[in-house]
Structure 1
């Protein structure tokens, strides 16, 4: 009798354990997030705030999410193959890293897996989305585009190197954002009666020759347009410009952090944190087509006074007062 009661109790307990709901984390396998990057070490540099924000939102790497990170290490020709391999692993969502090339590769590889791009200069002009308000299809993300931002950089450079002297521009003609940026720059230069000349570099190996050309042209300063190729080689670019004694203004603050004179652009940390929030919404059921592409709302002006001193530039106190951060 006691034996039958014991067996009945065990059976009842087993049945109840199957009927009771499991904890949320145990009910499903971890979400799989693909992260496709052109830049080397993007996950530990500009992309780090993305992972930090995911953690704040309650995601635990290795437990509730598994990240498949793949980088082309600066070689754009590797992106299509990496994107194809990533799609074959069927992630729940793909993050396409800094710039336009990683998103383009991801979009070419899938029309069904949700894609969130980060820090794209001109997503509509690049053909990534139909419009900012209604991106359409399986793609949305964060834009780094802001009206007249390149013109503002020209004005800031004039404060550091006054006198309407020749300004050089380093641009990658293969980057869609370059067309928009140069259009704004040329318009601003014309309005300010500022002479300007453009030097092109498509790959890292062409950057040194472009900077040498800018130096030989007699340019008194240079604007480095946003580009993942340039950002991946930021330390080398800053060192080349220091050797040429050519004052430069950049977009991402990462340049100023490695010795660049001045940077002004969207807060990349905010952009990547918002990308994590977009991923969170998609994992919870939101459709990418219903998430408008966000434009930057916060901008950073960073000054490196050590670089200014080495170049013999006296930074106006008014400019220092306006800076969000001053690196001594």
Structure 2
């Protein structure tokens, strides 16, 4: 079990708390599962989620129901999907697949408990008031991977020392895209490397981006930590191999 899957399982202990209160009622409690990803790409995480619930005594289709909503990489769908779960009066909502899911869940309800899994600082994003006292109806886990962009660039420069130009691929729909760009841009300047910033929020944009890499003679590529790019990692790897990046 990888680290992210392990934490998905562990986070279910937090999700179980509201279910205990709901269990006092005759109806079976319902958990909302909101993800920016696709069910195929997230099969292992969804299985870990169900396993975590079962370890706290809640088994899907027996004493708990789970309503899944998948944005499949289309972040603009998340607000409507979160609102659907609110209308279903779920007992608790799990917002997974990064910051877009968590922000959509927060905007949809101020009363239903929300547990998030994200990569950036939840305080800076406005999800919680502080780490020690989250306040409100949200709590969760952050991997803080958003702070690693500059480190990734440094490692890439060690792997490809002759690459004078390096590209950064960002999803403009990611709420932290601009801060990630600034961090990597600062690191590139310090390392004496030219940075080409590219944007993609759909699959159709990948081809033109990689064509630009060839045109600009870019020797290496840093891909932003983003749920959409995670779902497209096989395609990105194939394009990188085809274009010798």
TM over 0.5: yes
Q: How much does 1:86 deviate?
A: 0.8
Matches within 5 A, 1:179-258: 179-246=178-245
Among 35, 38, 41, the alignment partner of 1:40 is 38
**1:173 corresponds to:** 172
Secondary structure of the equivalent of 1:163? Answer: coil
Secondary structure of the equivalent of 1:176? Answer: coil
Cα displacement string for residues 164-183 of structure 1 (whole angstroms, at most 9, x for unaligned residues): 52111101122122223222
Shift of the 147–89 alpha-carbon distance from structure 1 to 2, 3 Å rule, reads closer
- The size of the alignment, in residue pairs, is 222
TM-score by length of 1: 0.62
**2:18 corresponds to:** none
**2:122 corresponds to:** 123
**1:282 corresponds to:** none
Indicate conservation of the 8 Å contact 1:83/1:109, yes or no: yes
Cα displacement string for residues 87-112 of structure 1 (whole angstroms, at most 9, x for unaligned residues): 11111110111122222221221110
Runs of at least 5 residues in structure 1 that lack an aligned partner in the other structure: 1-24, 247-328
Q: How much does 1:146 deviate?
A: 4.7
Secondary structure of the equivalent of 2:93? Answer: strand
**2:110 corresponds to:** 111
Cα displacement string for residues 110-161 of structure 1 (whole angstroms, at most 9, x for unaligned residues): 1100111112424333332233333221112121315852222112212321
Cα RMSD, aligned residues only: 2.3
Q: How much does 1:43 deviate?
A: 4.5
The answer to whether structure 1 residue 150 and structure 2 residue 130 are counterparts is no
The answer to whether structure 1 residue 88 and structure 2 residue 87 are counterparts is yes
Q: 1:148 and 1:106 mapped to 2: Cα distance?
A: 23
Q: How much does 1:44 deviate?
A: 0.8
Secondary structure of the equivalent of 1:199? Answer: strand
Runs of at least 5 residues in structure 2 that lack an aligned partner in the other structure: 1-22
Say which one has the larger Rg. 1
Q: How much does 1:201 deviate?
A: 1.3
